[in-house]
Structure 1
């Protein structure tokens, strides 16, 4: 049985029933991976031809027909096939770890947003844009994106407090400096692609600013000169935060351009009124050759993803994280 790997045009001889990620690692084929359990999405690749078995939460199911994406760690080979691995020159391997951390501070960024700062017992290696699972107590585990870079001495997270949200309200009212938090990660495939030299479109809604801020900080720290166009979407002045970091970055780096877009722009002198999709559509007719990093509510991420693909960004160059509010 044969496995053809694109774009490397490399042929491998494999045994039926072999796990795809195991085959790639054993043959030194470059692919990103992290959790090894199908949760983080880092090892996503595309089945171009052939049939495989993908392990879902319920059962193994055959995948056939037009090309589709699978997680290599949860995919088993059943016949000769062709796969496409994403960006072999942008591979990252940060094996997921469990670290102990202690609370440094919980700070208010907006009426319903808190900045959680943790001191990890050991450094956590991650790429800008990734996230981790934080456990505060038994049964209280939530995913939050890092807002800094792994060169920092601490971990920074932005947390939205929602009515009835157990973890958010615990962070806002229950956590104290010195309290222990278990950190599991890194996870996520919407990380910064450092080798890309074209324009970058970063779109953040709400606490989606955390991973976007991490991506921007990482790109600028790495000396990337790409034009970076960041659109920050908020509902009103009440929800706006982050300019205390973005304004100095924009002042010091001429390739960073920040646009605030608000449903209600009253009280935000520099804001444009409307939706981020409307602002992007007004500003850019052709986004061919760009990369997009989208983080925020599922409706915003889905609408923006559709728009940027219509304007020329390839699907595999849209790196997105949708934030789902946890009410329990």
Structure 2
């Protein structure tokens, strides 16, 4: 793990609650798809964010930061980047990265900006021409919160190994995706989860709900990955 100063190359909103951040590290560092970095606000204040880009994407590092006036903790990071044009990170972190040790089909489950974790894994799988089937469920309250819906759908349209299922709680007219809570949509579609390698990201409580629900539908806990898991009861 290294402490690295980064130039802020891009900082713009995806929508009213998610920012698209692109960083250029002063020195290259290695990471694996599914890992995260820490933004150093001070020696005693380091804040985690999933890396949304893949190792194969090159030197630039992409983050998707959910922040607004009502979310002061991440908004302070956004404000620091805006003011200074640079930020210090510590990277890489995390033990929930992509597992290439088996050929099980991959199930990726994201809530909100947990999609950044999923996106890194999907991009790496496509870049390496991985042969495993990949199913992505992305849950949000509304379609407009899916800030990279078009990108994810385009990937699924081009790659026959990818299935993308958007899930929203507030469904619009003529909606063709999943409805309600994302884990329930998964369980409705897949009756037996025992064969899957599963990756989940979102709010900690959401990951806890996913874990507990999927265990009742055959998931093997050793086949589940998520940075929240070690902190859940």
Q: Please, what TM-score do these two structures have when normalized by structure 1?
A: 0.65
Give yes or no for the alignment of 1:109 onto 2:14. Answer: yes
How many angstroms does 1:301 deviate by?
Answer: 0.7
Report the counterpart of residue 35 of structure 2 in structure 1: 130
Within a 5 Å distance, the mapping from 1:244-259 to structure 2 comes to: 244-259=150-165
The answer (yes or no) to whether the contact 1:200–1:226 under 8 Å persists in 2 is: yes
Count of residues in Structure 1 that have an aligned counterpart in Structure 2: 228
Give the unaligned 5+ runs of structure 2.
Answer: none
Within a 5 Å distance, the mapping from 1:222-233 to structure 2 comes to: 222-233=128-139
User: C-alpha distance in 2, partners of 1:251/1:238?
Assistant: 20
How many angstroms does 1:222 deviate by?
Answer: 1.6
User: C-alpha distance in 1, partners of 2:82/2:70?
Assistant: 20
Q: Please, what TM-score do these two structures have when normalized by structure 2?
A: 0.89
Greater RCO, 1 or 2 (C-alpha within 8 Å, sep 6+): 2
Report the counterpart of residue 147 of structure 1 in structure 2: 52
Greater fraction of residues in helix: 2
Match of 2:104, SS state, is coil
How many angstroms does 1:311 deviate by?
Answer: 2.2
Report the counterpart of residue 159 of structure 1 in structure 2: 65
Measured against aligned partners, the alpha-carbon deviations of 1:123-182 in whole angstroms (never above 9, x if no partner) come to 121110000101245665311010011232201011111445445323445533972211
The answer (yes or no) to whether the contact 1:123–1:150 under 8 Å persists in 2 is: no
User: C-alpha distance in 2, partners of 1:134/1:279?
Assistant: 34
Report the counterpart of residue 261 of structure 1 in structure 2: 167
What's the RMSD between the two structures over aligned residues? 2.1
The answer (yes or no) to whether the contact 1:296–1:321 under 8 Å persists in 2 is: no
